[in-house]
């Protein structure tokens, strides 16, 4: 009797849709995963579910009318996008900004950066199963929202910058509350590190997980904490200095391993550097006007113009083509989240499905910024 041959081993792969309603994606993002058991073979981030056509809207709006749109892209870095847009138009038209307005812009921008990082911190830890740090982070973030609400009239989608300055001056109460917040947040670092950074569960969920090395980050055009976590000290505030950043002292935190833990630590260290920037800006805040001389209707000369700033997620560039009218002929926004997201096509390959949440959260994307 012939011996029975063993049945050939057949590879069992299947597909999993994570999103676009999965809570950990924090927006309508769909990850299409090809799996071999618990391991990811291929990952395809699919965007476009919430496209709103901001760039196309710019073509039918005056430069002044487009101001509120800027904070509807990355709504967590609304002030930073708002600042980038007005600075781009000021560069095009040669509008000068008074020193006091420049310092006010930087104070508000760095508060907004901290606010964004605190929200990321709280939601990231909650995605990994920790609830208490979320409450701590939002408690601190609420103070920033109150401070900014006092002069901007908004708590999230800010439209505070104006061509040539800002909409409203800061007062003694704003300065007092900001300085008080600086002391409060510094007193919380120990709590945050005891709760999270030293937590053995968090360490196992992030150390060595989702490694993005220097070469991969550069190849995909990553910026912000994702790039700096990979060991590249690139920050627009230093690489292409703007506003009053050249006058202020601060460091650019970087990682070494390029894993989720490094990206976490970079953002934490960035919050302390933002506090340093705010302190110096308040100390040097000059007297004077908050608005320079700007035409009622901006009409930049014909040509192509580009200006970039550093948002909480990386480099934001405004490329504007002017035809000499009061309407942009073309406005293109280079946003950081799209490049940072696409690196996951390589990063997720070979990782466990269980680690997808940790890796995606550590990149910190804002989907509406991608779906402009």
Kindly state the tokens that stand for 145.
């929202």
Instruction: Quote the mean pLDDT of the chain.
Output: 91
Say whether pLDDT at 8 is over 70: no
- Rounded percentage of the chain residues whose pLDDT exceeds 90: 77
Reference 210, options 198, 225, 197; nearest CA is 225
Report d(CA 335, CA 372) in Å as an integer.
9
**CA-CA-CA-CA dihedral for 117, 119, 122, 126, to nearest 10:** -120
Q: Break the chain into its structural domains and give their ranges.
A: 53-370
Antiparallel, parallel or unpaired: β 303-310 and 315-322: antiparallel
CATH topology of domain 53-370: Cytochrome-c3 Hydrogenase; chain B (1.10.645)
Q: 23 or 130: whose pLDDT is higher?
A: 130
Report d(CA 39, CA 161) in Å as an integer.
47
Q: Report pLDDT digits (tens) over 53-72.
A: 899 999 999 999 999 999 98
Say whether pLDDT at 11 is over 80: no
Report d(CA 210, CA 341) in Å as an integer.
12
Say whether pLDDT at 7 is over 90: no
Say whether pLDDT at 9 is over 70: no
Say whether pLDDT at 295 is over 90: no
Say whether pLDDT at 293 is over 60: yes
Backbone angles phi, psi at 355, to 5 degrees: -90, -10
Say whether pLDDT at 1 is over 60: no
Reference 58, options 72, 45, 47, 46; nearest CA is 72
DSSP string, 143-185: HHHHHHHHHHS-SSS---EETTEESS---HHHHHHHHHHHHHH
Kindly state the tokens that stand for 233.
């000290």
Q: Containing H/E element for 100?
A: helix 99-127
DSSP string, 219-283: HTT--THHHHHTT----HHHHS--TTGGGS-------SS-SHHHHHHHHHHHHHHHHHHHHHHHH
Q: What is the 3-state secondary structure (H, E, C) of 309-344?
A: EECCCCEEEEEEEECCCCCEEEEEEECHHHHHHHCH
């Amino acid at each position: 009797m012939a011996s029975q041959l063993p049945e050939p081993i057949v590879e069992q792969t299947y597909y999993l849709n994570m999103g676009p309603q999965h809570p950990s994606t924090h927006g309508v993002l769909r990850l299409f995963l090809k799996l071999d058991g618990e391991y990811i073979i291929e990952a395809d981030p699919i965007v476009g579910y919430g496209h709103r056509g901001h760039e196309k809207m710019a073509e039918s709006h005056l430069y002044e009318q487009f101001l509120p749109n800027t904070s509807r892209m990355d709504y967590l870095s609304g002030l930073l996008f708002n600042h980038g847009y007005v600075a781009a138009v000021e560069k095009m038209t040669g509008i000068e900004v008074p020193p006091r307005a420049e310092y006010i812009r930087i104070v508000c921008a760095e508060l907004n950066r901290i606010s964004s990082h605190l929200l990321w911190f709280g939601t990231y830890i909650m995605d990994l199963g920790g609830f208490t740090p979320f409450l701590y982070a939002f408690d601190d973030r609420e103070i920033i929202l109150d401070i900014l609400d006092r002069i901007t009239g908004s708590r999230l989608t800010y439209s505070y910058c104006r061509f040539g300055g800002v909409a409203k001056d800061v007062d003694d109460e704003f300065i007092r509350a900001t300085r008080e917040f600086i002391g409060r947040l510094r007193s919380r670092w120990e709590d945050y590190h005891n709760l999270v950074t030293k937590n053995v569960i968090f360490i196992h969920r992030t150390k060595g997980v989702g490694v993005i090395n220097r070469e991969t980050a550069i190849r995909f055009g990553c910026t912000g904490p994702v790039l700096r976590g990979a060991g590249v000290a690139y920050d627009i505030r230093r690489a292409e200095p703007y506003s009053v950043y050249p006058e202020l002292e601060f460091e650019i935190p970087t990682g070494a391993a390029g894993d989720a833990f490094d990206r976490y630590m970079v953002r934490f260290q960035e919050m302390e550097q933002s506090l340093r920037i705010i302190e110096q800006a308040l100390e040097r805040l000059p007297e004077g006007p908050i608005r320079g001389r700007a035409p009622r209707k901006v009409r930049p000369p014909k040509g192509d113009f580009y200006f970039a700033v550093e948002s909480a997620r990386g480099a934001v560039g405004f490329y504007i083509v002017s035809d000499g009218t009061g309407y942009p002929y073309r406005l293109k926004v280079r946003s950081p989240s799209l490049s940072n997201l696409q690196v996951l096509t390589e990063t997720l390959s070979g990782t466990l499905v269980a680690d997808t949440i940790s890796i995606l959260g550590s990149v910190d994307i804002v989907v509406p910024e991608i779906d402009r």
